[in-house]
Structure 1
Amino acid sequence: MKKIIYNLTVFCLFTATLMSTGCEKLIEIDPPLNETSSTLAFATDNSAKSTIAGMFATLAQSAAQNINLTVQPSLQADDLRYLGVSTQPLEIMNNSYTRISSLSNDHWSTWYNIIYQANLIVIGLEKSSTVTPALKTRLIAEAKFVRAYSYFNLVNMFGDVPLILETDVTKTAFQPRETVANIYQQMLKDLTEAKSGLLPDYSASSGDRSGVNQFACSALLARVYLFVGRYADAEASASEVIASSLYKVVEAADMGTKVFIKNSTECIWQLSPPLTATNQYTAEAGTLLPSTYTVANIQYRISKDLTDRFALTDLRYLRWMNNVTIGTEVYSLPFKYKYRTNALALAANVAEQTLILRLAEQYLIRAEARARIGTNLSGARDDMNVIRSRAQAALSTSTVQNTLLEEIALENRKEFFVEQGFRWFNLKRTGQADAVIGAIKPTYKPTAKLLPIPMVATDANPNLTQNEGYL
């Protein structure tokens, strides 16, 4: 393991100053790996499983995934407002971050740390002749899935970034940026290959949906296809997930309590709780929910621009927001995850987990894909109405293409508010960010659509150019 730890440490120093749970956590996860060499790490089935478990643990425990991927993009967009006085959240909300801000360091270092681990697993297992062939195939597929997911987040935050597919830092240390288009092609390659190597169920993770399967690949493929404008492929991939008997949209009566819990029927992929597997709360709730409902303690609220778009009878307004009246002011707080501490979750006997891929997204991906293709507009409307019906919102009757696209975009915003970067990424994908955010934030500049490449990375690599707008 010494070789692994050495290479990972060098890599982390090259990319950025790693968050406290980064490199250190890799060597804390499984004792069997602590004393082994990189060769022995992939010598047996158990050691190979430990390595893949370490990669997923790094992802689940990272602040970039379990807090910042939701909070930061929601502030960058128009769904969430910060009421405190700390400098960094204010910079994020005002889209006024600079090259010397620490905002981008966590994302850059975390996602590249996870990519490095995925590369290590792919390369190590491909060289191994002692791991059971079926297990080797599955673990390589899981690593490629996570690599694709990590690159999706990187390009949507930074734009062009280095495409690193190996572990030798002497070869990657001075690698220039690759185009977003080429990185998306690598994502599609990884996910297509991963899909054939994964199981069609959750038996590999003993039924736990923190494991990935073929349908998780199809779901992420559908998202990527939508982002690159391959709408027929997006429709087909989403249809595979929707047709599976594994998944079901949670009924209206239960949507307040059963969507974001462990192994929800709507869940395609979720992550274990932060810090320990026995925790039953999410870091998002711990960040977004106040300890007491007083003006002094409320740090985040949902924007009035968003709340005004809901009918007061919409179950997402009633069940996924906590609308607290203080004096004459109504504060709408994110309430998809309801327990801000483990003690509260244990007392309620509820286990919540960070939900990354869920069935509702697949209906809205297929709806948009069908609307953009234009040959099945009634099907696009019906897919969107599945989500509206569950929320007990008024159903659409339109079959006009532009109207449907506007309705689907709004439905995406309502369904996925303050969740995994959806609103911000979609505004940028559809070319609306400048008009929408520029109209409500005087400090907004078009260059703020991308984060600055961290200074520690550009200083270490002269071939790594900076994004426009950052000195």
Structure 2
Amino acid sequence: MSNSGCKKFLDEEDPTNLSPSSFYTLPEHAEAGIAAVYSELRFIGGGAGIFSNNWQMFDAPSGIQSTETAQNSDLNNLYSLIYDGSNLHINQNWNGFYKVIAQANLVLDKVPGINPMDAVQKKRILGEASFVRAWAYFYLVRLWGDVPLILKPITSPSDPNFAPARTPQAQVYKQIVDDLVLAEAAGLPFMDASGRTSTAAIKTELAKVYLTMAGQPLNLGAAYYKLSADKAKEVIDYSTSNPSSLGLFTSYAAIHNATNDNKIEHLFGIQYNDAAGAGNPLQSSYLPLHQPLVSKIDGIGTSIPTPEFYASYEAGDLRAKNREGYFFTDYYTDGFKLPLINRGKPFIFKHFDLVANGTLGVEGTSRSDLNIPQIRYAETLLIYAEAQNRADGSPNAAAYAAVNAIRKRAQLADLTGLAQTQFEEAVWRERWHELCYEGITWFDMLRLRKAYNETTNGFDNFIGHLNKSVNQPLQSKNLLFPIPTPEIKNNPKLVQNPGY
């Protein structure tokens, strides 16, 4: 009797034990699945050892950023250009992007089989998942070059993709484009204040991918500059017709005001909501080390501008003005009381949340809902200006209008009458000064094989450029990060990048 009873118990299924095959059966499961995809994106703000976050890896080697804190060796090694495959940031970003891809692959694989389900809802969710997968692979291919291209869920160690080989970059880029084109056709709102993927974000990401493919390492040239310009122009044209829903904020303060998350200029961001238990984790990184800036957040100063970059802004550029642009040199006692305290050097104000940190007469809450920006309309404008100039051989009126919109907000004079190369370098300078500290500058350096020289106001070749943060030249090996050492050990098909 005991044997038969045991057999029956073992044969029965536990209705509370969910698996991908049993879970993806209802439209509500599809919604939960795409929510899980978005949730995974927050690894970018996740901790990377003491006093650091994964997000900092994207700017640390660029030379425009430094640190006041010497306690995180992994972050210090990124700043010093002496990192290797054991670096915690490198390992966590690799793993983080592939976790995002794994969640997106589940949605893309399982949701098509859910029936009955509203066709519009299904198309939307598949479009969102396609965009996020493309977003993740775009980071991976720029950071590591040839990377494993995994497009289906991995179900067992016998799966061929359990230990995948590296896929040529050109094939990875083709998949990125395919995913974004699918997402573009999904009928998503042009702007979406909920924080979900929007058509404006998809089109700008596609323009950015084309711009990157036009440059290094694929070097596909004029045809891809044209694709980039045309796609960015679609977003610009929508803004022209719908200025109240898409455009540039009138002030820089609006960029780091959490009430503006996912609106107007913010086309896509990593979503944070402290009330839901997911507050922005980056505020202390930008506050001065051990100075009484705010009463509730201890500043650690691990992301600060280099003096040379701060000094490279044009005279009168509002972006360099204290507490009005992207930097601050003094702030209120405890964040909300007079007198102002001079901090002795510039700090980054671009991601400063006044609600969390405080402002005059209002004490900070220490809780931040501010998103981490991924795509801003300012970048759309600069993509168009650069791509159109390269595609057509000279800047047209629309390209001038795009870059001059950025300069007008900075209270700088319009650009006029420039030859192709002069205009191109002027747009690059705007990219460095407008998009700084958003995880963009390093990728510009990779695709251009150029680096901004703050002393000459020109551009050096990437290899040999002196990184002023540590006074070390960039080397050819710095064009790619090392494959994480644990991945190399666990998967014999992976071959390490040159120089590591």
Fold equivalence (TM over 0.5): yes
Q: Which residue of 2 aligns with 1:269?
A: 268
Hey, what does 2:485 align to over in structure 1?
Answer: 455
Deviation at 1:39, TM superposition (A): 2.7
| Preserved contact between residue 328 and residue 348 of structure 2 (Cα < 8 Å) | yes
Cα distance between partner residues in 2 of 1:59 and 1:297: 24
Q: Is 1:151 the equivalent of 2:128? A: no
- The residue identity in structure 1 corresponding to 2:347 is L
The change in CA–CA distance for 1:426 and 1:313 in structure 2 (over 3 A counts) is same
Q: CA deviation at 1:317?
A: 1.1
Q: Are the aligned partners of 2:280 and 2:369 in contact in 1 as well (CA < 8 Å)?
A: no
Q: 1:99 aligns with which of 48, 60, 85?
A: 85
Q: Quick one: distance in 2 between partners of 1:258 and 1:443?
A: 37
In the other structure, the counterpart of 1:46 is: 28
Structure 2, unaligned runs of 5 or more:
1-14, 215-223, 294-298, 332-339, 451-461
Q: What's the counterpart of residue 290 of structure 1? A: 288
Relative to structure 1, the CA distance from residue 108 to residue 257 in structure 2 (aligned partners, 3 Å threshold; closer, same or farther) is closer
* 1:293–1:324 CA contact under 8 A, matched in 2: no
Q: 1:403 pairs with 412, 416, 422, which one?
A: 422
* CA distance in 2: counterparts of 1:163 and 1:418, whole angstroms: 29
SS at match of 2:347: strand
Match of 2:246 in 1: 247
Alpha-carbon distance change, 127 to 285 in structure 1, aligned in 2, over 3 angstroms: same
Q: Which has the higher helix share?
A: 1
Report the Cα offset of residue 393 of structure 1: 1.8
- Quote the residue 1:372 is aligned against: 390
CA distance in 2, matches of 1:260, 1:424: 29
8 Å Cα contact 1:42/1:131 also seen in 2: no
Contact 2:354 2:364 in 1 (8 A): no
Question: Cα 1:64–1:468, aligned 2, differ >3 Å: closer, same or farther?
Answer: farther
The aligned residue for residue 85 of structure 1 is 70
Alignment correspondent of 1:337: 351
Aligned residue number for residue 408 of structure 2: 389
The correspondence for 1:208, drawn from 179, 183, 193, is 193
Q: Would the alpha carbon gap of residues 62 and 81 (structure 1) be closer, same or farther in structure 2, given more than 3 Å must change?
A: closer
1:124 aligns with one of 78, 96, 110:
110
Corresponding residue for 1:190? Answer: 179
One-letter code aligned to 1:339:
D
Q: CA deviation at 1:181?
A: 1.6
- What whole-Å deviation, never above 9, does each CA across 1:86-105 have from its counterpart, x for those lacking one? 21121000110012222311
> Could you tell me which residue of structure 2 aligns to residue 232 of structure 1?
226
The answer to whether the 8 Å contact 2:329/2:347 transfers is yes
Q: Is the 8 A contact 1:258 1:264 kept in 2?
A: no
TM normalised by structure 2 equals 0.79
User: Aligned-pair distance for 1:375?
Assistant: 4.5
SS at match of 1:283: coil
1:315 aligned partner? 318
**Cα drift, residue 254 of structure 1:** 5.2
Q: CA deviation at 1:34?
A: 7.4
Moved more, 307-316 or 142-151: 307-316
Displacement of 1:180: 1.6
Please report the TM-score for the alignment, with normalisation by the length of structure 1.
0.83
Q: CA deviation at 1:126?
A: 2.2
The alpha carbon displacement at 1:351 in A equals 4.6
Match of 1:58, SS state, is helix
Between 140-149 and 243-252, the greater mean CA deviation after superposition: 243-252
Give 1:404's aligned amino acid.
F
C-alpha distance in structure 1 between counterparts of 2:341 and 2:253, whole Å: 31
SS in 2 for 1:269: strand
Give the SS at the match of 2:128.
Answer: helix
Give the deviation of 1:308 after TM superposition.
Answer: 1.4
Correspondence for 1:7: none
Instruction: Quote the Cα distance in structure 2 between the aligned partners of 1:228 and 1:64.
Output: 29
Aligned residues of 2:257 and 2:354 also touching (Cα < 8 A): no
The answer to whether the 8 Å contact 2:254/2:260 transfers is no
Question: Would you say the 8 A contact 2:330–2:342 is kept in 1?
Answer: no
Which protein has greater RCO, CA pairs closer than 8 Å, 6+ apart?
1
Give the superposition deviation at 1:437: 4.2
C-alpha distance in structure 2 between counterparts of 1:46 and 1:426, whole Å:
40
Residue 453 of structure 2 is matched in structure 1 by: none
Q: Distance in 2 between matches of 1:184 and 1:311?
A: 36
SS in 2 for 1:190: helix
The residue number in structure 1 matching 2:202 is 217
2:165 corresponds to: 176
Aligned residues: 432
For residues 105 and 92 of structure 2, what CA distance do their matches in structure 1 show?
A: 20
> In 1, Cα distance between the equivalents of 2:406 and 2:108?
38
Give the share of equivalent positions with the same residue, in percent.
Answer: 24
Q: Is the 8 A contact 2:285 2:301 kept in 1?
A: no
* Residue number in structure 2 paired with 1:136: 122
What does residue 304 of structure 2 align with? 301
Moved more, 312-321 or 139-148: 312-321
CA distance, structure 2, for counterparts of residue 417 and residue 149 of structure 1: 20
- What is the distance in 2 between the residues matched to 1:62 and 1:233? 29
**What whole-Å deviation, never above 9, does each CA across 1:351-399 have from its counterpart, x for those lacking one?**
5222211110010000001111224444322211110001112321233
Gaps of at least 5 residues in structure 1 are 1-32
Give the letter for the 1:212 counterpart.
Answer: T
Structure having the higher Rg? 2
